[in-house]
A and B are shown apart, each in its own frame.
Chain A
Amino acid sequence: MTDLTHLTLKAARDGLEARSFSARELAQAHLAAMERHRALNAFITETPEQALRMAEAADARLARGEAGLLEGIPLAIKDLFCTKGILTTAASHILDGFIPPYESTVTRKLWEAGAVCLGKTNLDEFAMGSSNMTSYYGGVRNPWTRKSDNSDLVPGGSSGGSAAAVAARLCSGATGTDTGGSIRQPAAFCGIVGIKPTYGRCSRWGTVAFASSLDQAGPMARTVEDCALLLQAMSGYDPLDSTSADMEVPDWAGTLTGDVRGLRIGIPKEYAIPGMPAEIERVWREGADWLERQGAEIVEVSLPHTKYALPTYYIIAPAEASSNLARYDGMRYGLRVEGKNLVETYMKTRAAGFGAEVQRRIMIGTYVLSAGYYDAYYLKAQKVRRRIVEDFDAAFERCDALLTPTAPSAAFRAGEKMDDPVAMYLNDVFTVTVNLAGLPGLSVPVGLDASGLPLGLQVIGRAWDEATVFRVGKAIEDAAGFTTLPYGLEETA
């Protein structure tokens, strides 16, 4: 029998239902894989005992015929979701030893659907980064390496641990969060699928906040169908989050087809940015050709304010972060570094507890919100943000979904771009617009570049229209037939 860790989530679900193997066996196979691949540093905390306990409970429910949507499915949870009784760090020193006395809504829903918790995955500190290099717990290694050399590559970020764990077959699926591209860019870098749903689809309650008007949780897995199943379980109205939408959650997985006949797919011309690698242009064109051959109509559209999305984001996100992160003061939880008085204690605690990138963003946020600068920066950014939303509204008059590259490059070397924050920020040039407009965006792997690294395409949909996003994603997935495994994993398949 194939190693159980190589099954898709859907196949694992079917196998459990057919009693071909037990949830306990499935969990054990993944726990063993996690142990073999500890060098990836994908997990901050492994929870093997909890996993086996949950798997046994899942087996009992399967035996009684009471299985939930994700019964017995082993998942990895980004360490930004609070998990009751399990260390939750946000990959920050300042949350040292923090054990939440409550469960985030998203993880609660997953456990209620029968999923099994394997552990908490590594991320950029407070989800601020595109490489996973800002984690207090060290960077994550991408399971992919170039064909020519085996130097360490980043998995992308901020959900880099989740992406690496899914790609390396350490879990059937994982949760991520996406504020500017933090699900989709690492999904592209690691050759997996990830979706950021419409803002308001998933409750933000119990998820460590970065920028509240942009943060959304979403799933990461190896197929579009697996992501649809996971998102179904994660979504839904939550009275504890005033921005969560009271809308019915569709049966995305049950109704998923790759039928794109009659759909109009927009290609935003502004996404052809100067200096984009030819290979990314190639897969982008190829993706459009696949959809056209399957009966979709390709139309060119314009999103004229695209180039202003990143600078807008780097006002709004740090402003919201500086406010959200004010709660880390060393008084009620986490790290405390004593000073001579209260203010000095705050200042020493926050200097020792936050890493360089988080400090930079808090300082930018504090500056743009400070007296005399608010109108020039924050208010201006909120106005440009509306322009960006209007761009999408106009584009969606002419098409049903948009197709773009996910990221402007494949995975890069660990340590690259670390000395130039702006160069690092450019990773999110194609993804950040979607957060600013609150829209759903999915990344699907389509092929390899010349060095043998995966590349992804992004499908953007109208608000609340994840169904079309999944449909277009499935059509691309079927046409791409992307089955290559990260090097070194072939022998376990």
Chain B
Amino acid sequence: MSLDKATVARIATLARIEVPEAHQERLAGELSKILDWIEQLGEVNTDGVEPLRAVMPIKAHWREDVVTDGNRPDDILRNAPKSHDGYFVVPKVVE
């Protein structure tokens, strides 16, 4: 599976990572090499095999639907790059 520059640019946008155009060619080569190597899975017959989603069958516990944590805005805001008056400050999203 060979990825072209346009596909790399599309994946980069989906992944929200800025990839300068000058790097797209190199990245396309690196990713294609990894995908080529992954292609060998096509050799495995998986007809009728149920996909494995949870490796250890563990029964989930029920608990009372009550608040067990919270009410500590200072802790939550302490690591914010920008905060003001108990809020995160983020770039404007609505014009």
Contact = CB atoms under 8 A, between A and B. Distances in A.
B51 interface: yes
A371 to B, nearest CB: 10
B54 A421 contact: no
Nearest to A243: B58
Nearest to A214: B55
B33 A98 contact: no
A339 B91 contact: yes
Nearest to A305: B44
A202 to B, nearest CB: 12
Interface in B30-83: 30-31, 33-35, 37-44, 46, 49-56, 58-61, 63, 72, 75-76, 78-82
Nearest to A99: B79
A362 interface: yes
Given A332-B80, A336-B82, A389-B52, A308 B30 contact: no
B41 A333 contact: no
Contact of A311 (B11, B19, B41, B46): B41
A200 B43 CA distance: 31
A345 B51 CA distance: 37
Contact of B90 (A308, A342, A389): A342
User: Main SS of chain B's interface residues?
Assistant: loop
Given A315-B38, A332-B80, A384-B41, A101 B56 contact: no
B85 to A, nearest CB: 16
Interface in A359-377: 359-360, 362-364, 366-367, 370, 377
Interface residues of A, number: 70
Contact of A350 (B11, B17, B31): B17
Interface string A375-400: 00101111111110100000000000
B46 A380 contact: yes
Nearest to A358: B17
A295 interface: no
A348 interface: yes
A218 interface: no
B6 interface: no
Contact of A101 (B30, B39, B76): B76
A304 to B, nearest CB: 10
Contact of A314 (B13, B34, B72, B76): B34
Contacts of B56: 198-200, 243, 245, 438, 463
A330 B40 CA distance: 37
Given A362-B15, A366-B14, A246 B61 contact: yes
A366 B55 contact: no
Contacts of A102: 75
A421 B34 CA distance: 8
A239 interface: yes
Contacts of B59: 246
A308 B15 CA distance: 27
B17 A386 contact: no
A99 B81 contact: no
Contacts of A437: 55
A12 interface: no
Contacts of B54: 213, 243
Given A386-B52, A389-B52, A463-B56, A335 B30 contact: no
A480 to B, nearest CB: 31
Contacts of A383: 44, 46, 49-52
Nearest to A436: B55
A166 to B, nearest CB: 28
A63 interface: no
Interface in A334-354: 334-336, 338-339, 341-348, 350-351, 354
Contacts of A308: 40-41, 43-44
A363 B15 contact: yes
Which 6 A-B residue pairs are closest in the complex by CB-CB distance? A382-B51, A333-B79, A438-B55, A101-B75, A383-B46, A336-B81
Given A101-B72, A347-B18, A386-B49, 6 more contacts: A308-B41, A342-B91, A350-B17, A363-B11, A383-B52, A386-B52
13 contacts: A213-B55, A311-B37, A311-B38, A331-B81, A342-B91, A342-B92, A345-B91, A348-B18, A351-B19, A360-B30, A363-B11, A367-B3, A463-B56
